[in-house]
Amino acid sequence: MTGTLILVRHGQSEWNLKNLFTGWRNPDLTEKGIEEARETGRVLAAKSIVPDLYYTSSLKRAQHTLDLMLEEMDIANVTIVRNTALNERDYGDLAGLNKDDARKKWGDEQVHIWRRSFDVPPPGGESLKDTAARTLPYYESEIQPKVAAGQTILVAAHGNSLRALVMAIEGLTPEEILKREIGTGQPTVYKLKADGSLDQRIEL
Ligand SMILES: O=C(O)[C@@H](CO)OP(=O)(O)O
């Protein structure tokens, strides 16, 4: 038996639009982000995908994305599990700063290292490795066993918390995962085997 795991990055946020480091700050979706979330909901509905369970982070942009998807899928009265383990990587002192201003202040290379190295955290924040260290145990104890048992689970989360999951599920190296850009509103769908390992990745 295989189960299905659907990972969705939140739609464009107000701070994505303003090019600000976001992390654990809590901006809502833009009009474009709202439409991206609705469109992803419509795509899942068109494929007749009806998840058994729903997970999201404690941040508004991911929660709002999930709510909009559910609306488009015509699904109501379901339990949504919200947990900070699925939050975006904590950007520490960079949160709220403009990414171009940060490049002017610290240089392109340093900012790129903070954004896309595996284990160098930004000042006061988390590296992708740190993010994975809280996201993966949660996934492995709460989500993966249910998918392995054959359920369909939808997770609405963030670029870097999802990178941590994609890295583990696809068995990618740090170099490979850091090149993977997950677009706003973009769904990634996996079939997982009974032992939790990857059976196939499905393109919607
Ligand atoms: O600002 C953030 O929290 C993230 C995702 O938008 O940015 P980055 O692309 O640098 O990981």
**CA 25, 36, 147: angle at the middle one, nearest 5?**
80
pLDDT at position 30: 98
Q: Establish if 115 belongs to a structural domain.
A: no
Count how many domains the chain has: 1
Report CA(79)–ligand 1 centroid distance (Å): 28
pLDDT confidence tier of residue 204, bands split at 50, 70 and 90 = confident
Q: What are phi and psi of 125, to 5 degrees?
A: -125, -160
Q: Probe ligand 1: pick from 91, 98, 114, 135, max atoms within 8 Å of CB?
A: 91
Q: Establish if 110 belongs to a structural domain.
A: no
Give the pairing of strands 187-192 and 198-202. antiparallel
Report CA(99)–ligand 1 centroid distance (Å): 9
Tell me which of 10, 64, 126, 158 is the catalytic residue.
10
176 is in an annotated binding site: no
> Measured between alpha carbons, how far is 78 from 57 in angstroms, rounded to an integer?
16
Q: Establish if 98 belongs to a structural domain.
A: no
Q: Establish if 183 belongs to a structural domain.
A: yes
19 is in an annotated binding site: no
Indicate if 10 belongs to the active site.
Answer: yes
Reduce the DSSP state of residue 1 to 3 states and report it.
coil
pLDDT at position 1: 77
Average pLDDT, the chain: 97
Instruction: For residue 21, give the ligand 1 atom closest to its CA.
Output: 1
Q: Establish if 92 belongs to a structural domain.
A: no
Q: Probe ligand 1: pick from 26, 28, 86, 89, max atoms within 8 Å of CB?
A: 89
Reduce the DSSP state of residue 128 to 3 states and report it.
helix
Q: How many CA atoms lie within 13 A of 203 on its CB side?
A: 0
Instruction: For residue 88, give the ligand 1 atom closest to its CA.
Output: 3
Instruction: For residue 181, give the ligand 1 atom closest to its CA.
Output: 9
Q: Establish if 124 belongs to a structural domain.
A: no
pLDDT confidence tier of residue 165, bands split at 50, 70 and 90 = very high
Which residues approach ligand 1 with their CB closer than 6 A?
Answer: 16, 21-23, 88, 91, 115, 159-160
Q: What are phi and psi of 73, to 5 degrees?
A: -85, 0
Q: Establish if 125 belongs to a structural domain.
A: no
Q: What is the CATH number of the domain that holds 150?
A: 3.40.50.1240
> Measured between alpha carbons, how far is 33 from 31 in angstroms, rounded to an integer?
5
pLDDT digits (tens, 9 = 90+) for 40-99: 999 999 999 999 999 999 999 999 999 999 999 999 999 999 999 999 999 999 999 999
pTM for this entry: 0.97
DSSP lists the bridge partners of residue 152 as 4
Q: Establish if 96 belongs to a structural domain.
A: no
Domain of residue 146 covers 3-14+29-87+132-202
Q: What is the ipTM of this complex?
A: 0.94
Pick from 52, 49, 61, 51: which is nearest to 16 by CA?
61
